Structure 1
Amino acid sequence: MENASVHGAEHAADAHALDRSVLSSVEDQDVRAERVKPGIVIRLPHDGDWRALHELVRKVHERTVFSHIPFSDRKYAAIEAQARNPQPHQCLLVADVAGRVVGLAWFSAGEYLLGEGTVLTTTHLLGIDSEFCGPFRAAKVFVKLLRGVAAWSKTRGAHQILVHVTTGYALKQTDRLIRAGGGVCIGGSYLVKA
């Protein structure tokens, strides 16, 4: 993981050295961020981020193939409650530029469905404010968030990350980004009308 880290101080047993950086578990409350590249910071959320995260998730929803489904503030509130107090197998990372929230990754680790002893990380949502970032910076934010997911995954013993692209938006660009980062296509998501 190239110079990316999220720091915390309380759970040293849960921390791993990664390329002269440390990624601690999400239980840490005293968190500070280290710059990944000038202008882009990947970190755990702060108390003041929740309103911006809510707006970002709304923007991401509006760009998806599911935008015709009304956004549920009630369901979002339930997910936010989980993200504010994550279980050890869950994490939310935030990307910010000059103090502005421009991206997020919500993911969890667990055993493979049909086997035992192997932990996989599943990304549930990886979204970027592409209007604010523009295509070039949005791609950089995406890659940095994915690197953050990879670093956290190692702390959970997961060596594989499942990235499900189900937005129906910018599919070719997303495919190129994931493949450039070493991703391999193992299937696909299809939408079939009932």
Structure 2
Amino acid sequence: MDNVSVHGAGHAADVHALDGFVLSSIEDRAERVKSGIIIRLPQDDDWRALHELVRKVHERTVFSNVPFSDRKYALIEAQARNPQPHQCLLVAEIDGRVVGLAWFSAGEYLLGEGTVLTTTHLLGVDSEYCGPFRAAKVFVKLLRGVAAWSKTRAAHQILVHVTSGYALKQTDRLIRAGGGICIGGSYVVNS
């Protein structure tokens, strides 16, 4: 999961976190022309688009019957706007449009000491806008961005929890193609 760029390291906590992973301006332009997909930290004018994207992602999940909570989203957005050093939000952009996001954090393994893991809380892509092929590319680039950030936290493993109930086989193929190993599963049991 090398060779990724994360653009716009402007937040004080993230400048140090992403040092060494931001491309120079010449490489930056070449990367933009090559794929058209930019992975970066959020900017002030992204929040409305991120809100709509998260709503879209929610509507595709097995939990779509649960009403979307603007209040809970606002709490998460407040954290993402001012993240702690162990948290990060990355945005995927194509042609100036927000098309994906990854919200994740690093911390010690629950039952052990000295090992830092990164946990992805949400990795979503606007597959309607992108189409399946480009959506897969956005997904992979976001995951590469998570990996680049994880290295700055000395996290050697990334936990990707697929709990949407949507496009499970395709997501499994993407993660396995990136070197992921299935270590279990998530189940829903109605009470």
TM-score by structure 2 length? 0.90
In structure 2, the CA distance between the partners of 1:73 and 1:117, relative to structure 1 (3 Å rule), is: same
Equivalent position to 1:115, from 106, 112, 116: 112
Partner in structure 2 of residue 79 of structure 1 = 76
Partner in structure 2 of residue 60 of structure 1 = 57
Whole-Å separation in 1 of the counterparts to 2:35 and 2:63 = 34
- One-letter amino acid matched to 1:8: A
Shift in Å, 1:45: 0.4
Q: Which runs of 5+ in 2 are unaligned?
A: none
Equivalent position to 1:17, from 16, 20, 35: 20
In structure 2, the CA distance between the partners of 1:15 and 1:62, relative to structure 1 (3 Å rule), is: closer
Partner in structure 2 of residue 137 of structure 1 = 134
Equivalent position to 1:177, from 147, 159, 174: 174
- Bigger relative contact order (CA 8 A; separation at least 6): 2
Shift in Å, 1:2: 1.6
Does 1:8 find its partner at 2:9?
Answer: yes
Task: Tell me which protein shows more helix as a share of its residues.
Answer: 2
In structure 2, the CA distance between the partners of 1:164 and 1:3, relative to structure 1 (3 Å rule), is: closer
- One-letter amino acid matched to 1:17: G
Partner in structure 2 of residue 165 of structure 1 = 162
Whole-Å separation in 1 of the counterparts to 2:64 and 2:127 = 16
Point out the more displaced range, 33-42 or 111-120.
Answer: 33-42
Partner in structure 2 of residue 41 of structure 1 = 38
Q: Which runs of 5+ in 1 are unaligned?
A: 23-32
Deviation string, structure 1 residues 52-100 (Cα, Å, up to 9, x no partner): 0000000000000000000000000000000000000000000000000
Number of residue pairs aligned between Structure 1 and Structure 2: 183
TM-score by structure 1 length? 0.88
Whole-Å separation in 2 of the counterparts to 1:17 and 1:43 = 14
Shift in Å, 1:8: 3.2
- 2:4 touches 2:144 (CA, 8 Å); kept in 1? no
Whole-Å separation in 2 of the counterparts to 1:160 and 1:21 = 23
Whole-Å separation in 2 of the counterparts to 1:14 and 1:3 = 14
